[in-house]
A and B are shown apart, each in its own frame.
Chain A
Amino acid sequence: MNYGYLTVLVVYLIVVLGVGVWGLKRESYDGYTVAEHNVGLPLSVGSFFATYISSATVVGFVGYTTLNGAAIFPTYFWGFALGWITLTLAAARMRGLGLRTVPSLFQARHKSSGLRAISAAVIVVAFVFSVMTQLVAGSIVLNVVVGIPQVVALVLLAVVLTIYTVMGGLVAVIRTDFLQGGLILVAVLSAFAVVVANVGGDLFRIEADQSNLFQGSITSPVDVIAFLLIAWGGVAAQPYYLHRFFAAKDAFTARQMIGVGALLATIVYLAIMFIGMALPQLLPSDQLGDSAMIAFGLDQGGILGSLLLIGIVCAVQSTVDSALHLAGVYTTEDIIVRFRSTMTEDTKLFLARSVTAILGVVCMGGAIYFVISGGEFIVTLLNLWLGTLSSAILIPLYGSLLWRRATALGALCSSVGGFLGYFTTLMLTEYGGVQVPGHPIFYGFGISLAAMVVISLVTKPVSDPEVNRIFFGDAEEPNQVTSP
């Protein structure tokens, strides 16, 4: 066991717990769910950025670049950037709705509680798997670097973030995100500086095979389009980021949160890409891939090793606390409360906290089970649900938000059709041994888009002045003035 790293980890966990729960006032339900719709720019940016950077970014993308060079751009980076642009364009409109949850948009727009509950269920299940995989990934890093047993590492990570999320809700999540975002930025930029110090001018010596865009997951231009769709849709329809719009104090903050957050993410991605390009010069070939960043940190040791360790733990916790919080809030607000509309705000707050705590324990238990049983299929489940999120949520959400002619049945068929299109094709190709042309995302996205357009056009739209005013900025009908 490395006691130096263990001390750094314990100090970090105490500090983050303190930042999460220190000075919390008696919380309201609105505070727990959307931080009273009153978060300013610095905290919004910190929260968006920290939630955005997950362990996949710090560990996975470096590893992918060490093996596949410039293919990281078409596989992930370009699509993500298109997602940021879409979020910027949607920010003010989303903030203007004044909602508490993403699924409630469907009820506000179409008066459809069924579509609201279905989309909430899809999001909650996706988040439960996301939390479990991130916890497993974080515990592997702690096991390798610090030397503590993986289950103990997992419990440490999960218990701390569950405590501050349950106690402080979105306020605590955003506060800790701000701290975690800063630490991630420092860790990645320090690693970049150390790489530059080691390789010098050779940082820009890109080998011919590293310059090739068609390697790794990308084998043809069709793959480029498929991965652009997945990455773009995965960011643009991601409830983590959309929910931050509801918490922002106004439309200006909502837009600029993405603007500045995207700038920080661009800087981190460039640093990560150059680290990945340079590590083959510094590490033996058997340490490239997913283990590259950890091997580099261990090799350097000292302050950089500690910073990278904390950076990775921050990346895990900042993404997991947001997912856990939203899973608890959406289960409460979009599913349970629908059955008992007479609940007081205090009862809802107690319920949201209880559901978040239960989900935290369930996720921790599930992650421990996967660690003990050595199951690999958790990653397959995560990919399946993330693809489902893009196929089942993206088009109905943006169609409802931006297209006046969209109808409830169109959005419902788009969501269910997108889910079935992606899920069925993926199952057929992965497990049925059936050769289906193209990527499964084309079927999910294509069916979702076609269903939204065709079914909306053949069904009668409901004209509601309130919906038109909130969603499309129509002025209210002037009251008729009668002369005395």
Chain B
Amino acid sequence: MMQFWLATILFVILGLTPLVLATMMNRRQRRSSTRETAQ
């Protein structure tokens, strides 16, 4: 039973990682391009 919930939690973490990564990477790229434009 415990094993099942741990497996599910691991999958949810892995499954949400792309959204978190994409959002962070896009935000960083936007910030750096804004900085370049300002200079």
Question: What residues of chain A have their CB less than 8 Å away from a CB belonging to chain B?
Answer: 69-70, 73-74, 77-78, 81-82, 84-85, 87-89, 91-92, 206, 208, 210-213, 251-252, 255-256, 258-263, 265-266, 269-270, 273
Q: Are B11 and A78 in contact (CB under 8 A)?
A: yes
- Would A266 and B22 be within 8 Å (CB), given that A70-B4, A211-B1, A213-B3 are in contact? no
B11 close to A77 (CB less than 8 A): yes
Across the interface, name the chain B residue whose C-beta is closest to A274.
Answer: B8
Interface positions of B (Cβ within 8 A of A)? 1-4, 7-8, 10-12, 14-23, 25-26, 29-30
Contact B18 A87 (CB under 8 A): yes
Q: What are the residues of chain B within 8 A of A251 when measuring CB–CB?
A: 29
Interface pair B11/A269, CB less than 8 Å apart: yes
Determine whether the beta carbon of A263 is less than 8 Å from that of B15.
Answer: yes
Task: Collect the chain B residues with CB atoms within 8 Å of residue A270's CB.
Answer: 8, 11-12
Chain A residues positioned under 8 Å from B1 (CB to CB): 206, 208, 211
Complex Cα gap A266–B16 (Å): 8
The interface residues of chain A lying within 8 Å CB-to-CB of B30 are: 252
> What's the nearest-Cβ distance from chain B to residue A273, in Å?
8
Provide 24 A-B residue pairs closer than 8 Å at the C-beta atoms, listed in order of the A residue. Answer: A69-B4, A73-B8, A73-B10, A81-B14, A81-B15, A81-B17, A85-B14, A87-B18, A88-B21, A88-B25, A91-B22, A92-B29, A211-B4, A252-B26, A252-B29, A255-B22, A259-B18, A259-B22, A260-B22, A262-B15, A263-B16, A265-B15, A270-B12, A273-B8
CB-CB under 8 A from B29, the residues of chain A are: 92, 251-252
* Smallest CB separation, B28 vs chain A (Å): 11
CB distance from A250 to the nearest CB of B (A): 10
Q: Top 9 A-B pairs ranked by shortest CB distance?
A: A266-B15, A259-B22, A81-B14, A259-B19, A211-B4, A255-B22, A262-B18, A88-B18, A73-B7
Which residues on A sit within 8 Å (CB–CB) of B21? 85, 88-89, 255, 259
| Cβ contact within 8 Å between A210 and B4 | yes
Q: Are A256 and B26 neighbours in the complex by a CB distance under 8 Å? A: yes
Chain B interface mostly? helix
Q: In the assembly, what is the distance between CA of A270 and CA of B5, in Å? A: 12
Given A259-B18, A263-B18, 14 further pairs, Cβ under 8 A:
A70-B4, A84-B14, A84-B17, A92-B25, A206-B1, A208-B1, A255-B26, A256-B22, A259-B23, A261-B18, A262-B19, A263-B19, A266-B12, A269-B11
Q: When chains A and B are docked, how far (Å) is the Cα of A259 from the Cα of B29?
A: 16
Q: Are B15 and A269 in contact (CB under 8 A)?
A: yes
B4, B14, B25, B26: the one within 8 Å of A78 (CB): B14
Which residue from chain B places its CB closest to the CB of A260 in the assembled complex? B19
Give min CB distance, B14 to chain A, whole Å.
4
Task: Return the chain A residue nearest B7 by Cβ.
Answer: A73
A residues within 8 A CB of B26?
252, 255-256
Q: Are B15 and A70 in contact, CB atoms less than 8 angstroms apart?
A: no
Asked if B22 and A81 make an inter-chain contact with CB atoms under 8 angstroms apart, the answer reads no
- Asked if B11 contacts A256 (CB within 8 A), the reply is no
Q: How far apart are the CA atoms of A273 and B4 in the complex, in Å?
A: 11
Chain B residues contacting A81 (CB-CB under 8 Å) are 11, 14-15, 17
What distance in Å separates the Cβ of A402 from its nearest Cβ neighbour in chain B?
15
The answer to whether A212 and B3 touch across the interface, beta carbons within 8 angstroms, is yes
Task: Output the least CB separation between B24 and chain A (Å).
Answer: 10
A211 to chain B, nearest CB (A): 4
Q: How far is the CA of A261 from the CA of B15 in the complex (A)?
A: 10
Residue of A nearest to B25 (CB): A255
Once bound together, how far apart are the Cα atoms of A258 and B26, in whole Å? Answer: 12
How far, in angstroms, from A252 to B29 measured CA to CA in the complex? Answer: 9
Write out the residue numbers on chain B whose beta carbons fall within 8 Å of the beta carbon of A213. Answer: 3, 7
Minimum CB distance partner of A273 in chain B? B8
Residue of A nearest to B26 (CB): A252
CB distance from B39 to the nearest CB of A (A): 16
Once the chains are docked, how many angstroms separate the CA of A256 from the CA of B20?
9
* B contact residues around A273 at 8 Å (CB): 8
Enumerate chain B residues within 8 angstroms of A252, measured Cβ to Cβ. Answer: 26, 29-30
